[in-house]
Amino acid sequence: MKAMLMKQISRLEENNPPLELADLPQPAPGDNETLIKVSTCGVCHTELDEIEGRLPPHHLPMILGHQVVGRVAAAGGAASRFKVGERVGVAWIHSACGKCRHCLEGNENLCAHFQATGRDVNGGYAEYMTVPEDFCYPIPLIFSDAEAAPLLCAGAIGYRSLKLSGLKNGGNLGLTGFGASAHLVLMLVRHIFPASHVFVFSRSEAERIFARDLGAAWAGDIGEESPKKLTAIIDTTPAWRPVVEALKNLEPGGRLVVNTIRKEEVDKDHLLRLDYPNHLWLEKEIKSVANVTRRDVREFLELAAEIPIRPEFQEFALSEANRALLELKSRKIRGAKVLRIA
């Protein structure tokens, strides 16, 4: 099978493509696994972190990709949930132990044995992949393969972030950074909280224009103050400065949800100082988001189909994965980026 293979940690640059198109043996499903013939796979900022060593894969070489849509090609001897030919999706959560307190409570995203698709096991930048059948999701018919791919991570993690924000209809939401996840959250809020308004903070003028096109009430730079104090803010950036800037825009009792898997160790452009009276006083709080649960993915796919949510995306061939990642790094973003595998 064809796959884009990551062999080493390296800096992503135009003259240094990190992924190599390779011919690899087709994987075989284990007893409880499903073999998927991949049709599309979304491109995520997390893959940049893997390539450049901020979130390195647990072994190399590795096939990246965790927003996977395809058809069931075969099933292991004990796998019976899906029929051959059925369309399914795979998200960041590849597996968990199923036995610990967190798993038994439905919070397998917190499991100490959590395994991530495309980081701990091979992912969807390939023609075929395997996954435990309990971690596959039927894809609603309303979505094309390319539309469905971003829903499996950008959409599901955005949905989890919105739930953790505690936002209710009529409350005002801030979004810091406006990539694949944030643009889906904005669409979601406009439909399920029609009395709420969304305020977007981004250092990119193109992203601010895109946010207004999608119905944001206001869009400004990271350091600007919003016209109104906000009930909740979801931060999707890899830097610390947006966290500090966001706190000053929260109303008393407001909550900042940090929807990112890691933060830069330092902010190279700014000396950051947390001013307690301005940033945290009056019972403001900060909450992190850790991965997603299967429940998040299932609920969001059903809700996205009901609304329906139509993600904006740009499509690339599998062999163009390096170009898609480079555009993501250089912030050439309007919605999501999707690889067409088959």
According to DSSP, residue 174 is labeled E
H-assigned helices in the chain: 45-51, 101-104, 145-150, 156-165, 180-192, 205-213, 241-247, 276-279, 294-306, 321-329
DSSP string, 140-169: PTTS-HHHHHHIIIIIHHHHHHHHHHT--T
The pLDDT tens digits for 152-195 are 999 999 999 999 999 999 999 999 999 889 999 999 999 999 99
CATH number for the region 155-288 comes to 3.40.50.720
Q: What's the pLDDT score for residue 13?
A: 87
202 closest CA partner among 170, 226, 171: 226
Could you tell me the two tokens for 173?
A: 């939401």
Q: What's the pLDDT score for residue 161?
A: 97
Q: Where in the sequence of the chain do the CATH 3.40.50.720 domains occur?
A: 155-288
CA distances 284 to 170, 276, 328, Å, are: 19, 10, 32
| Burial (CB count within 10 angstroms: exposed 0-12, middle 13-18, buried 19+), residue 330 | exposed
Strand 33-43 versus strand 336-340 pairing type: antiparallel
Q: What's the pLDDT score for residue 241?
A: 86
Q: What's the pLDDT score for residue 268?
A: 57
Q: What is the largest CA-CA distance in the chain?
A: 61
Q: Where in the sequence of the chain do the CATH 3.90.180.10 domains occur?
A: 2-139+312-340
Q: What's the pLDDT score for residue 16?
A: 86
According to DSSP, residue 305 is labeled H
Percent of the chain with pLDDT over 90: 81
For the whole model, what pTM was predicted?
0.91
Strand 218-220 versus strand 198-201 pairing type: parallel
Q: What's the pLDDT score for residue 269?
A: 55
Query: Helix (H, G, I), strand (E, B), or coil: what is residue 330?
Result: coil
Q: Give the mean pLDDT per block of 10 residues along the chain (342 residues).
A: 96 90 97 97 94 93 98 95 97 96 96 97 98 97 97 95 96 94 94 96 92 96 94 92 91 94 66 69 86 96 95 94 93 85 87
Q: Residue type at 86?
A: E
Q: Which residues on adjacent β-strands are paired with residue 4?
A: 21
Q: What's the pLDDT score for residue 180?
A: 85
How far is Cα of residue 6 from the mean position of the Cα atoms in its chain? 20
Superfamily for 2-139+312-340? Medium-chain alcohol dehydrogenases, catalytic domain (3.90.180.10)
Nearest-angstrom CA–CA distance, 226 and 228: 5
Could you tell me the two tokens for 17?
A: 């493509």
